[in-house]
Structure 1
Amino acid sequence: MKTLTIAVVAAAALSQAPVRAQTQTDPEPPAQDETLRSVLDELARLRERVGALEEQHDADLQRIRQLEERLARPSAGAAAPSAGSAPPASTTAPIQTEPIRPRTEELPPQARLSLGDSSLGWGNQLNPAIGVLFDMGASLSSSGDDDRNRFNLREVELDIRAAVAPFADAIFITTFEEEIENPGSTDIQIARNVDIEEGYINFHSLPAGLSLKAGKFRNAFGENNRLHTHALPQVDRPLAVQAFLGGEGLATTGASVSWLVPNPLDQFIELTAEVVNADGGEESPLLGGPNASNPAVVAHLKWFTDVGETGSLQLGGSYLFGASSGAQGDNSSLFGADATFHWQDPDNPDARSLLIQGELFYGMNDTESPALGMLRNESFGAYLFGEYQFAKNLYAGTRFDYTEFPSVEDRAPGDHDLAVSPYLSLYLAENVRLRFQYQQRFARINGETTPEANFLIGLTFSIGAHPPHAFGAFR
């Protein structure tokens, strides 16, 4: 660029030489004065333009050097990711998981909606994908009970999954849990248990659009029940899920068959049927536990479609049937309906989104009363939440809960539980999420309504590989 400047100046000087020679011998006419001034003005403008180009050139070189340094920085500081592990976050991007979804990536319906499957390339025969997830929290309650005002390591989850054949994957998830025994009493005990959360083989490439799971797995009833504790959209599970399916949801041992239903509209329709043990007890008050006289049956129908360019809608219906006790003829039925709507801003899909989800529960179960004998108890429950993404790592929402109690052994007719829970989710890194939740609760027990205010804090983080979850889950 400096060579160009010298050349322009030299050419201008040569062009002026005859003019100077002429002015020494003959007086210059007025017209030649105007020509000389215009040439000098043009030369000055050229020099200004050359100077501006030099400055722009230097600025471009500086920007190129900065970009080269930014591109070289991740490769120098981190090794290449192994198969099945999440890519490292850019050092220049705002700190943020998703996903454990990847919430910013559009997955095909099979990937988004089959929460437990690892047929997405996670792991291989020689090197299983291994991940560890930590879920801990704290709670403060206006009730003043010692079991409510404390820190709690709710769950540490070890997730191992790999392909065992080209047509099958194996998933093994074990949890280390900290549970409070005798809540609400003066003799509170802390129990630390090890449990097999899930352990099954998934034959994902059977003919005619079929897949088969065998082992222990989370049952396909609704949407929230499929999520592990660390993946919940809020700090706690909805009250209706806890009342009908148990505090940690329903996960039992058996077999599950899923079928992608062919249809003329070329829509995603999946039908799932499961035959599982009727292990109830603490898991679900509707099931009779190990002494139940027959297995439980679970069915779920799911329909997924796109809404506009960046929206999606999923509708589902569920059914659960099982024995409510070991006595012949004591049965329970639970019907469910679920809906999920997800939208992303087409201009800024990574930082603006909306999620709305709700479920309905209607249960019928046989209970025995000492005074009246066998009774058929009917109960209803529901939840609805909306969550908006304000920035790449910031989400806020509110959940509404209402549930009656499927077990009336210690409940009066008309008892129910009602709550409103606003919450805030902040991703400190791609695999670190911090949540704050306030819950105003109104429980009517034995005909008496007691208000209760709870403040909940949840911290979730992971190491190692982790598959994507559904919308709203730990991404």
Structure 2
Amino acid sequence: MPKFLPASLALALSLPIGAMADTTSDVRALQKEMKAMRADYEARLKALEQRVKSAEAAASVPSTATAKATAPATATPAATTTTADITATGTGTWSPPTTVAQPAPQATPANSAAPAAVASSGGGASSFNPALSLILSGGYTRTTRDPADYRITGFPLPPGAEIGPGTRNFSLGETELGFSASVDPWFRGAANISVAADNSVSIEEAFVETTALGKGFTLKGGRFFSGIGYLNPQHAHTWDFVDAPLAYQAMLGTQYGDDGVQLKWIAPIDQYLELGAELGRGRTFPGSDRDANGAGMYALYAHTGGDIGVSNSWRAGISMLNAKASDQALTSFDGAGMPFASQFTGNSRVYVLDGVWKWAPNGNATRTNFKLQGEYLRSQRDGSMVLGADGALPSPYNVTQSGWYLQGVYQFMPNWRIGLRTERLDPGTPSFGLDTGLVGTAYRAKKNSIMLDWNPSEFSRIRLQFAQDRAREGKPDNQISLQYQMSLGAHGAHSY
């Protein structure tokens, strides 16, 4: 056998052994590196856990008095918040409210201590603080007619009714201070304090409502804007125009709010369906405050809506408000335009049909969108009227009046919108049981408005509006308004 053959065999056998040695060395190095990474990860995790424990210890207050303050941490979100909520731009597609999809928290058993369970939630004392918001509004108004003489021909209204364009020149608009917070796992509360340009202060809303009734029900009690119609429940700073439509001014005193209770139910179905009922004092127009037991107002309404494809959504509703009035002071005008005092006692019933359609390409309203909105109101007043000086005999009185508005708002580029609104009123023909010598007017008030607004963000808006107002017979009024609106602090999304 040649001498080189054994040497060749020895070399061939040594190669796999060397490769195995190299592989073993690589595996050991990899294992060592993984152990180092694991040790570093565990060290980081322990440090993070320690920081969380330190934060919880700093946030907790070891006292019985503050244990209840942690209740809001376990409270569910407000029942009025829905997935259809949208920002101040007023755009977005509709989807059913989250109150349908979210299960209600289980009630605390009778034999358990609710405060103890709440205190264990881990929330700090700061969780009890309410969310604060401040709406600043103001601007400049120019009119060709004196706003002090503003009236709506054919519609008797209480003296001092907040109608018309407001004061001329520079003025401070309505400043609104809002508070809201969870009370505990079962209730939340909210209040809105309004400061008018004349420095008068009023409580617009102050109510509590349930968050855990379940089955789609929500109960509210206190002072609040009625849920009738589309525009009425919304605060003025969310409106698309400077002022409310003439129909709202003439038949609801601009915006109807009352002291009472409200029950809403949202059906647990794919189609959005909301039913509501209200019972109240009836203290504001078209009712009047009465020194009597029993409700002076009740309201019923139903709203439904849905999506059409991915770019369109809609909502429609029907409402009815019934309010009682007793010796309600009104200011009317005769055929010559001269004012005279009157007092109405009886019932007022207002029906509202509302609808809104929104379009945003592929559901994205950031760049461009369009909203078409309209409402029809019909008012029936039936009772007695005292005309002229005190001591006059009451005369049977009834009248049916109506009005409507239609508006469209188009966002043609980011942050910029333009809108048009047209509206009409029909004063009807009042019927007096006695020969009073008064006759109704055939004049139908009307108004056309155009607005342009710039929205740098969801919290700021500057709006320019021009309106030709023909609410006063024979006295057309050209109105120019420059308005700013700024939202400070915590401010929730607006409803659809």
TM-score bracket relative to the smaller structure: 0.5 to 0.7
- In structure 2, give the amino acid aligned to 1:158: L
> Is this contact kept in 2: 1:102–1:469, CA < 8 A?
no
Change (3 A) 1:372 1:195: closer
Instruction: Report the 3-state secondary structure (helix = DSSP H, G, I; strand = E; otherwise coil) of the residue aligned with 2:442.
Output: coil
The Cα shift of 1:148 comes to 4.2
> Is this contact kept in 1: 2:185–2:211, CA < 8 A?
no
State the match for 1:356 in structure 2.
372
The Cα shift of 1:208 comes to 2.3
> Is this contact kept in 1: 2:227–2:301, CA < 8 A?
yes
Matched, 1:419 2:447: yes
Instruction: Report the 3-state secondary structure (helix = DSSP H, G, I; strand = E; otherwise coil) of the residue aligned with 1:278.
Output: coil
Matched, 1:330 2:331: no
TM (norm. structure 1) is 0.66
Q: Tell me how many residue pairs correspond in the alignment.
A: 345
> Is this contact kept in 1: 2:99–2:216, CA < 8 A?
no
Structure 1 CA distance, aligned partners of 2:99 and 2:463? 23
State the match for 1:290 in structure 2.
290
State the match for 2:259 in structure 1.
253
State the match for 1:379 in structure 2.
401
Pairs within 5 Å for 1:14-33: none
Change (3 A) 1:245 1:268: same
Change (3 A) 1:381 1:291: farther
> Is this contact kept in 2: 1:99–1:469, CA < 8 A?
yes
Change (3 A) 1:379 1:417: same
Change (3 A) 1:337 1:292: farther
State the match for 2:489 in structure 1.
464
Matched, 1:340 2:342: no
Structure 2 CA distance, aligned partners of 1:124 and 1:243? 45
Per-residue CA deviations over 1:34-61 (Å, capped at 9, x if unaligned) read xxxxxxxxxxxxxxxxxxxxxxxxxxxx
Per-residue CA deviations over 1:96-122 (Å, capped at 9, x if unaligned) read xx9644656657443799xxxxxxxxx
Per-residue CA deviations over 1:253-293 (Å, capped at 9, x if unaligned) read 10000011345xx311000000011112xxx2x21233477
Pairs within 5 Å for 1:53-202: 100-101=87-88, 103=90, 108-110=95-97, 125-144=127-146, 148-178=167-197, 191-202=198-209
> Is this contact kept in 1: 2:371–2:408, CA < 8 A?
yes
Change (3 A) 1:291 1:380: farther
> Is this contact kept in 2: 1:101–1:470, CA < 8 A?
no
2:459 corresponds to which of 418, 431, 438: 431
Per-residue CA deviations over 1:122-168 (Å, capped at 9, x if unaligned) read x9952321111111122111115576422221211111111112232
| Worse-matched range after superposition: 305-314 or 403-412 | 403-412
State the match for 2:283 in structure 1.
279
State the match for 1:391 in structure 2.
413
Per-residue CA deviations over 1:55-111 (Å, capped at 9, x if unaligned) read xxxxxxxxxxxxxxxxxxxxxxxxxxxx99xxxxxxxxxxxxx96446566574437
Change (3 A) 1:130 1:273: same
Instruction: Report the 3-state secondary structure (helix = DSSP H, G, I; strand = E; otherwise coil) of the residue aligned with 2:211.
Output: strand
Structure 2 CA distance, aligned partners of 1:292 and 1:460? 40
TM (norm. structure 2) is 0.64
Change (3 A) 1:273 1:470: same
Structure 1 CA distance, aligned partners of 2:356 and 2:362? 19
Change (3 A) 1:411 1:304: farther
- In structure 1, give the amino acid aligned to 2:477: E
> Is this contact kept in 1: 2:429–2:441, CA < 8 A?
no
In structure 2, runs of 5+ residues without a counterpart are 1-71, 74-84, 101-124, 149-165, 329-343, 388-392, 433-437
Pairs within 5 Å for 1:215-226: 215-226=222-233
Change (3 A) 1:101 1:167: farther
> Is this contact kept in 2: 1:158–1:174, CA < 8 A?
yes
> Is this contact kept in 2: 1:361–1:380, CA < 8 A?
yes
Instruction: Report the 3-state secondary structure (helix = DSSP H, G, I; strand = E; otherwise coil) of the residue aligned with 1:363.
Output: strand
Change (3 A) 1:387 1:105: closer
State the match for 1:320 in structure 2.
321
Change (3 A) 1:241 1:406: farther
> Is this contact kept in 2: 1:423–1:437, CA < 8 A?
yes
- In structure 2, give the amino acid aligned to 1:251: G
Structure 2 CA distance, aligned partners of 1:165 and 1:138? 44
Structure 2 CA distance, aligned partners of 1:454 and 1:329? 35
Structure 2 CA distance, aligned partners of 1:238 and 1:355? 16
Instruction: Report the 3-state secondary structure (helix = DSSP H, G, I; strand = E; otherwise coil) of the residue aligned with 2:326.
Output: coil
Structure 1 CA distance, aligned partners of 2:452 and 2:416? 8
Per-residue CA deviations over 1:396-439 (Å, capped at 9, x if unaligned) read 01011112459979993334320010111111333110011110
Q: What percent identity do the matched residue pairs reach? A: 26
Instruction: Report the 3-state secondary structure (helix = DSSP H, G, I; strand = E; otherwise coil) of the residue aligned with 1:324.
Output: strand
Structure 1 CA distance, aligned partners of 2:217 and 2:327? 34
